[in-house]
Amino acid sequence: MRWCLFLALAFAQNDTLINRWLQQLTLRERIGQLIFMPAYTDKIKDNFAYVKAACEQGLIGGIIFMSGTPYKQALYFNQFQKSAKIPLLVAQDVEWGLKMRLDSTIRFPKQMALGAIRNDSLIYQFGKALAQQCKAMGIHICFGPVLDVNNNPKNPVINDRSFGSDPHKVAQKGLLVIHGLQNHGVVAVAKHFPGHGDTDIDSHTGLPVIYHDKKTLWEVDLYPFRHAIAAGVQGIMSAHIHVPALDSVPNRPATLSPFIMKTLLRDSLHFQGVVFTDALNMRGVLNYAPLTQAAIEALKAGNDVLLFVERPKPLVEALVQAVLNGKIPIQIIDEHVKRILKLKYQLGLLQHPPQLSLDSLYQRLYHPQIQKLSWQLYRSALTLVKNESHFLPIKHLSKEKIAYLQVGGERWSPFFYYLNTYTLITPYYLPKTATRFAIDTLITHFQNHGYTTVVVAFMQLSRYAHKRYGITKSMEYLTHKLQHPSFHSVLVLFGNPYALDFLSLPEAVLVTYEERDITQRAAAEAIFGGYFPDATLPVQLNKHPYKGAISYPTVRRWRLAYPEELNMDKKAFEKIDTLLTNTILGKAAPCVALLVLKDNALVYHKAYGYLTYDSTQKLQLHRHSFDLASITKVLATTLAIMKLYEEGKLLLYHPIKRYLPETNGLPIGELRISELLLHRSGLPAWYPYWKRALRVDTLYQNDSTFVIRRWLSTTPSDTYAIRIGENLYLHRAFPDSMWYWIIHLQPRSKKRQVYSDFNMIILGKIVERITKKDLYTYVKETFYEPMGLRSLCFNPWAETHYPYEPVPSTFDLSPYRGVVKGFVNDDNAAMMGGIAGHAGLFGNIYDIAKLLTMLMNGGVYEGKRYLEAETIALFTRRYGRRFRRGLGWDKPETRKRLPSPTSRFASEEAFGHLGFTGTAIWVDPKYQLIYILLSNRTYPSENNKKFIQWNIRTRVLDLIYQSFLKHV
């Protein structure tokens, strides 16, 4: 009872204050309170002087900011408020965020996309974030949300500004936005009353007519507004539409109708808040009456605010005369003014005249959490409209040959590059006006070249019905031809879902609503299983009935994320970008590729530089592969040993003579497998056996004659059958001789840890003896092919259909080898035929990431197990305090006095390896981090030590750790 009395006294006190303010105003100033003037801050329409003068003269009670820049708008806000006798209400039409009006701000999805999202908490968070953005700019009133039920696909003005065609969902989503705004101090204005959805005329250019009967109006058009009013929405905006069922006066807009704005809105629906007219410069109202008459009728009909009056002075004078002449009772004016003053009081404007701080304005507007929410909303809106036989996500990539067909837009879109992060895809392009012959020819090409799937992207579309949403007759024909038995097809529509009614739908269809970087990421994720779309189509299509969300099988692959989504500091990646750019400019390497995976999300992948210093060909992550050098030791040899150990075909503590009989009786034969893996064999680090190929040998034959044998030739033959360069061939006997020299090496008696190529050469031979296959064939059949890793191979030059272009690794000064491209850089590996346990593997950065992801995930990739988690743990753990290495894998150095091959921030769980050509791979299970850096720092000469001296690989990894580790 006491609280009721307290509230009653508080309201009474407020009314007293409002009346006191009212009495201080002249009639002219009272009418001024009812007028909102547009204010522009862009260079073309900037009207600062006119608005400031209107403020000083008391001609306006508020402003609606239009297009411009945030800083200038904040500056103008302060100037206008200082000039006004009574603080101004500031409004802005920012339905999908400040980006709708201001440059350099965060953009949110339009309401139709929000209507697709099933997670209602995200819609509330959108309203909250919008309120935070508005308050940062001093905006008191948000002209939104749109509560029109868009049940007419031809609607030219509402369309994707509506939450959809279901009045219940429109009401539900609208209430969430309203609560998000108003719970955080910003007035929400529901529009356009009584419902602007079912029309094909734009009220900016004419007067739409809504022909619904009263029952339909009540159950459909008015339904969202009824619930918004009941929930306490503070503002309503009228619509410049004619509704014969509610007002029989011919062609009278709802804005000017007392039956709609007073009898229905105020009396029947009991709305107590502020009513705003839609903009009074629109033909929907001006075609009915000139501005002054329209303003008089709008006020008499029940509107409180006359919106978008570009020249307020003549209108104020005309309205003053209308009051004095009795055309408008003064009581009506005072009633409207009280509502305005009451709203200003509730917002604290009358108590504390507002001023905006310009310090750190952009930092406030670009709050990381708000940016993350924007991305989350776009991703969550992605709608799977069709998915026959659960084709998506695409499975078994090793068996797929995929084409990408982009229709429209600039080639190539980010979407194409995001698709290529999952698998190699061949691009094709068609203009939106392609001929039927061109389309038929391309379809035949897909069939004849064995493509299994075609991903089609429709881009550069339109949101307008009169433009057929950007769909041409050619695009219609194309979707018809995509119904082909030879291949699967996926259509990604980067635009309005109403466009689907013009098309034949292939077996899988995704709608993104807008063409933005984040929607292209999300679409690529959905196609390959990085993200599972669960949104529902918010509108009903005429040609393709939609039945609801489609179940989605689980094939988990990495997702595509921005660093900020994982709380990684963007500034750290900017430093990385600068470091690697300077690496190229400083000629430490011609090109560098970087990839970072965190929490199974691909957060950074970028190419730097050109293939060589004098090349015009830029490095492209999806097209090029690198000589991985010593990374071969872990991604081929060690991987094979891990599998053979797991299968019981190899024991770690057995001597190698058990697997290599030719070493029986030799000192090297007593070495154990584990000693080779741990680099504790006592074998030397390296020896340039390749130099022996340069000499001429004199051989003694049985017939007592001497024969001179040369090891190298510039022409191939049965004898010179091993190709080691562009125009250089090796004698077929040399690898056997080299193997003889290796097994006769003398291990040191004291087994200290010495990193040796020979350990891995021997292990590679052991793999071949056990499996009866060469090393490449075994790892290819066991790992690479089943995982779809087409770039990982030895001797790319020998691959008939190798789909990647190898990056040049060095320049041999001899006239025979020349530019080393597609041939192994390591000379000893070359003399062994290019397939060796220590070097020779080539790979693309994305395929390497997939292999490391399998190891990170405990041996599982795409639902298939390749290794047991226990095996991975055994091989990647540290062995002893005095030795840093694992079995085959390198580890961080924990002893402070010794250099570490990786970042000082890496955990003890981390494992990886470096390569001579300037390559590095590291996996840190503790932080769920994968780091890959590839370069050709050895081009044109391995004598260039800048890349090593500048410690590029470790410095980049340090910055990556610093991006998410605090206080390092």
- The CA distances from residue 761 to 596, 766, 835, 874, in Å, are 30, 9, 10, 22
Write the CB contacts of 459 (distance below 8 Å, at least 6 apart in sequence). 406, 407, 408, 409, 413, 415, 494, 515
Using CA atoms in the order 114, 597, 624, 912, what is the torsion angle rounded to 10 degrees?
-170
Structure tokens at 229: 């009013």
| Catalytic residue status for 240 | no
Using the structure block, give the residue that is written with the tokens 């998915």: 387
| CA–CA distance, 805 with 791 (Å, rounded to integer) | 9
Q: Which residues make beta-bridge pairs with 404? A: 427, 455
- 260 within 8 A of 268, measured Cβ to Cβ: no
The kind and range of the H/E element at 478 are helix 473-481
Decide: helix, strand or coil at residue 79.
Answer: helix
- The CA distances from residue 773 to 133, 203, 548, 764, in Å, are 64, 75, 52, 11
| CA–CA distance, 502 with 474 (Å, rounded to integer) | 11
Look at residues 967, 963, 964, 965 and name the one whose alpha carbon lies nearest to residue 572: 963
Structure tokens at 966: 């605090």
Helices (H), 605-699: 632, 639-646, 673-677
Using CA atoms in the order 517, 519, 521, 524, what is the torsion angle rounded to 10 degrees?
-140
- The CA distances from residue 895 to 361, 882, 892, in Å, are 47, 9, 9
Cα–chain center distance at 313: 49
End-to-end CA distance of the chain: 58
Look at residues 498, 497, 502, 550 and name the one whose alpha carbon lies nearest to residue 526: 550
For residue 659, which amino acid is it? Y
Q: What angle do CA 757, 760, 765 make, to 5 degrees?
A: 130
| CA–CA distance, 224 with 293 (Å, rounded to integer) | 31
Decide: helix, strand or coil at residue 308.
Answer: coil
- 114 within 8 A of 146, measured Cβ to Cβ: no
Decide: helix, strand or coil at residue 860.
Answer: strand
Rounded to a whole number of angstroms, the CA Rg of the chain reads: 36
Look at residues 397, 414, 379, 402 and name the one whose alpha carbon lies nearest to residue 531: 379
Hey, how many other C-beta atoms are within 10 angstroms of the C-beta on 353? 13
Q: Cis ω on the peptide bond leading into residue 192 (within 30° of 0)?
A: yes
| Catalytic residue status for 221 | no
**DSSP, res 887:** S
Q: Which of 42, 184, 204, 599 is catalytic?
A: 204
Q: Which of 160, 198, 221, 278 is catalytic?
A: 278
Structure tokens at 5: 């009395």
Give the torsion sign (CA, 754, 757, 762, 767): positive
Using the structure block, give the residue that is written with the tokens 């052991």: 766
- 640 within 8 A of 779, measured Cβ to Cβ: yes
| CA–CA distance, 873 with 752 (Å, rounded to integer) | 24
397-433 residues labelled b (16+ CB within 10 A) or e (exposed): beebbbbbbbbbbeeebebbbbbbbbbbbebbbbebe
Look at residues 473, 512, 472, 470 and name the one whose alpha carbon lies nearest to residue 491: 512
| CA–CA distance, 110 with 16 (Å, rounded to integer) | 42
- 632 within 8 A of 836, measured Cβ to Cβ: yes
| CA–CA distance, 338 with 30 (Å, rounded to integer) | 9
**Active-site annotation, residues:** 204, 278
